[in-house]
A and B are shown apart, each in its own frame.
Chain A
Amino acid sequence: MIEGAGFVDVEFGSPVDTFAGATGEDKARAFGTYGYVIQARKPSA
Chain B
Amino acid sequence: MAADTPVDVDRLRNEIESTYQQVAERPDGSYHFHTGRRAMDHLGYPADLLDALPASAIDAFAGVANVFGPGLPEVGSRVVDVGSGAGTDTLIAARAVGTDGAAIGVDINEAMLERARAAAAATGMPHVGFRRGLAEELPVDDGWADLVISNGVLNLVPDKAAAYTEIHRALRPGGRLQVSDICVEAAVPDEAKQDVDLWTA
Contact present for B183 and A39 (CB under 8 Å): no
In whole angstroms, how far apart are the Cα atoms of A45 and B175 in the complex? 11
Interface of A is mostly: loop
Contact present for A39 and B177 (CB under 8 Å): yes
Interface check B3, CB cutoff 8 A: no
Which A residues, 1 to 37, have Cβ-Cβ distances below 8 Å to chain B?
1-2, 4-7, 12-13, 16, 18-24, 27, 30-37
What's the interface size class on A, roughly?
20 to 34
Contact present for A31 and B168 (CB under 8 Å): no
Residues of A contacting B42 in the complex (Cβ-Cβ under 8 angstroms) = 20-21
What's the interface size class on B, roughly?
35 or more
Q: Which listed segment binds A: B50-58, B60-68, B79-87, B108-116?
A: B60-68
Residues of B contacting A40 in the complex (Cβ-Cβ under 8 angstroms) = 176-177
Interface check B126, CB cutoff 8 A: no
Contact present for B69 and A42 (CB under 8 Å): no
In whole angstroms, how far apart are the Cα atoms of A12 and B165 in the complex? 19
Contact present for A22 and B34 (CB under 8 Å): yes
- Minimum distance in angstroms from B172 CB to a CB of chain A: 7
Contact of B65 among A16, A31, A43 (CB under 8 A): A16
Contact present for B164 and A35 (CB under 8 Å): no
Contact present for B160 and A1 (CB under 8 Å): yes
Contact present for B164 and A4 (CB under 8 Å): yes
Contact of B184 among A33, A37, A45 (CB under 8 A): A33
Contact present for B182 and A33 (CB under 8 Å): yes
Contact present for A31 and B177 (CB under 8 Å): no
Which B residues, 149 to 199, have Cβ-Cβ distances below 8 Å to chain A?
152, 160-161, 164-165, 167-168, 171-186, 188, 192, 198
Residues of A contacting B44 in the complex (Cβ-Cβ under 8 angstroms) = 16
